[in-house]
């Protein structure tokens, strides 16, 4: 049966000819009312197709909240403190960050003016003018439409989506725009024969738009991806594009239109370049594990079992907490920290300070560690495929070490 979305894609191909993969993906994910992210369905969490850090455990929001609170103090504790989250989904990160700060730092929570924007919630207004504050995103850039490129002989070719009989099919032809070859050239990337990769031409301009809104403060971009040499390396011969459907992955890009996610690793070099062009400073590029550990992850892990909670609740929460820093999973995601008018050395998220962690531990009951609620993904109970990895070694070491520095301090990109 042809769905409305498929009918629209077919009509457009009949009208305009083959679509670039980026144009196809734009429709599959964002066609108003019909796309994967615009049809109103729950995409993240147990009922959806994948989970993200805010869904894995609310400590992610709380730890980012600690960075937001420090930034608020660095900016002179203003009475109104704007935080813009882009790609906020249903607002879980906003809700948990707010709740944590209300309990931990009420004055900061009162000052917080948090706007959560998402392409799936039309009508929400972008700030009208630049502000001093923070701009946050989690897994935003991996969901922007991308072009798929492949090298055939000495030619760069692009993947298009066309009609073949009754169905959709991929074909390769000349790149749709010179900007694609220029992008790879600017990053010093030469694909080898048969190598595929993805290029997102929307990521840089979006980052520049965000930079234009930041008068002073931080842009914190958390996502999976790498800097260009690793992102487009020969090790990734087949590229990184993937679909997520019911907590599993596949490469059937032309199936389940509007019902499965399509995503690819972020090319952080493009975001760094866009930030520099907009006058931002690159303050750090830690892994998610390093960022969260710098912010106090260990204090949360150490105090959680001392809360007098039932053992099953402790286990479920520790499991979610560990998921955030697991080296083979979300711990390996990256956090690009760009700023204006701030120094890297002063940011809690970019240096491990054992005394700060010890002070958080000393708070005991007064550290309002958030617990899993129905809105989060029950990873321990759920047996989601990505959680079946042994995380014990590194995390065990961290907890035993207590106050020693993390393996590989945060470093600038
Ligand atoms: C992978 S989801 C992540 C949602 C949420 N941040 C989380 O971590 O659970 C990506 C989200 O980014 C949104 N999005 C994509 N492009 C956007 C844009 N240009 N502006 C605002 N939101 C966008 C999508 O609608 C989707 O909700």
How much is the average pLDDT of 137-142? 98
Q: Express each pLDDT in 81-139 by its tens digit.
A: 999 999 999 999 999 999 999 999 999 999 999 999 999 987 788 999 999 999 999 99
Closest ligand 1 atom, CA of 142?
A: 1
Residue 45 CA, ligand 1 centroid: distance in Å:
14
Q: Does residue 253 lie within any of the structural domains?
A: yes
Q: Does residue 68 lie within any of the structural domains?
A: yes
Can you give the pLDDT at residue 400? 55
Can you give the pLDDT at residue 46? 79
Residue 141 CA, ligand 1 centroid: distance in Å:
8
Q: Does residue 365 lie within any of the structural domains?
A: no
Distance between first and last Cα of the chain: 48
Can you give the pLDDT at residue 383? 55
Q: Does residue 148 lie within any of the structural domains?
A: yes
* Alpha-carbon distances, residue 71 vs 52, 60, 272, 334 (angstroms): 24, 17, 21, 20
Contact 150, 194 (CB under 8 A): yes
Q: Does residue 391 lie within any of the structural domains?
A: no
Q: Does residue 249 lie within any of the structural domains?
A: yes
Higher model confidence: residue 393 or residue 172? Answer: 172
Whether 52 lines ligand 1, by a CB cut-off of 6 Å, is yes
Indicate whether 356 pLDDT > 90.
yes
- The residue whose CA has the least distance to atom 19 of ligand 1 is 119
Mean pLDDT, rounded, of the chain: 92
Residue 312 CA, ligand 1 centroid: distance in Å:
32
Q: Express each pLDDT in 190-232 by its tens digit.
A: 999 999 999 999 999 999 999 999 999 999 999 999 999 999 9
Residue 86 CA, ligand 1 centroid: distance in Å:
7
Q: Return d(Cα 126, Cα 87) in angstroms, integer.
A: 12
- Report the CATH number at residue 204: 3.40.50.12710
Domain total in the chain: 1
Q: Does residue 411 lie within any of the structural domains?
A: no
> Could you give phi then psi for residue 177, rounded to 5 degrees?
-150, 145
Whether 54 lines ligand 1, by a CB cut-off of 6 Å, is yes
Whether 120 lines ligand 1, by a CB cut-off of 6 Å, is yes
Which segments of 224-352 are extended strands (E)?
A: 225-226, 242-245, 248-250, 261-263, 266-267, 281-284, 334-340
Q: Which domain holds residue 221?
A: 4-294+335-347
Q: Return d(Cα 68, Cα 135) in angstroms, integer.
A: 10
Q: Return d(Cα 32, Cα 41) in angstroms, integer.
A: 13
Q: Could you tell me the sign of the dihedral formed by the alpha carbons of 373, 374, 376, 377, in that order?
A: positive
How much is the average pLDDT of 328-336? 95
**Nearest residue to 172 via CA among 153, 192, 150, 141:** 150
**Nearest residue to 386 via CA among 316, 327, 314:** 327
Residue 337 CA, ligand 1 centroid: distance in Å:
19
Q: Does residue 384 lie within any of the structural domains?
A: no
């Amino acid at each position: 049966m042809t769905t409305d979305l498929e009918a629209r894609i077919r009509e457009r191909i009949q009208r305009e000819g083959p679509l670039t993969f980026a144009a196809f993906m734009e429709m599959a994910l964002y066609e108003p009312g019909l796309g994967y992210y615009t049809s109103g369905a729950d995409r993240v969490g147990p009922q959806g197709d994948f989970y993200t850090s805010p869904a894995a455990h609310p400590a992610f929001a709380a730890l980012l909240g600690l960075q937001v609170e420090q930034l608020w103090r660095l900016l002179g504790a203003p009475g109104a403190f704007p935080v813009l989250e882009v790609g906020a989904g249903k607002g879980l990160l906003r809700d948990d960050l707010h709740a944590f700060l209300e309990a931990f730092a009420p004055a900061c929570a009162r000052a917080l003016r948090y706007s959560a924007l998402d392409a799936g919630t039309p009508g929400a207004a972008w700030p009208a003018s630049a502000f001093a504050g923070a701009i946050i995103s989690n897994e935003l850039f991996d969901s922007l439409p991308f072009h798929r490129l492949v090298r055939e002989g000495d030619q760069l070719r692009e993947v298009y989506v066309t009609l073949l009989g009754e169905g959709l099919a991929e074909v390769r032809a000349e790149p749709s725009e010179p900007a694609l070859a220029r992008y790879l050239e600017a990053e010093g990337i030469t694909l080898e024969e048969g190598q595929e990769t993805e290029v997102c031409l929307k990521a840089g301009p979006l980052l520049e738009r965000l930079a234009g809104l930041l008068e002073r403060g931080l842009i914190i971009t958390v996502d999976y991806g790498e800097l260009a040499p690793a992102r487009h390396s020969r090790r990734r011969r087949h590229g990184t594009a993937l679909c997520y459907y019911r907590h599993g992955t596949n490469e059937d890009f032309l199936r389940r239109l509007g019902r499965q996610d399509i995503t690819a690793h972020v090319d952080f070099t493009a975001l760094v370049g866009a930030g520099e062009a907009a006058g931002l400073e690159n303050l750090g590029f830690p892994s998610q594990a390093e960022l969260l550990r710098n912010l106090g992850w260990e204090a949360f892990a150490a105090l959680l079992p001392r809360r007098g909670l039932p053992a099953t609740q402790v286990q479920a929460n520790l499991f979610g907490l560990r998921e955030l820093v697991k080296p083979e999973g979300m711990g390996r995601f990256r956090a690009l920290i760009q700023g204006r008018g701030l120094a890297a050395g002063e940011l809690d998220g970019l240096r491990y300070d054992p005394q700060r962690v010890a002070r958080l531990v000393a708070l005991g009951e007064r550290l309002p560690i958030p617990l899993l609620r129905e809105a989060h993904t029950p990873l321990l109970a759920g047996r989601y495929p990505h959680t079946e990895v042994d995380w014990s070694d590194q995390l065990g070491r961290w907890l035993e070490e207590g106050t020693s520095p993390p393996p590989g301090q945060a470093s600038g990109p």
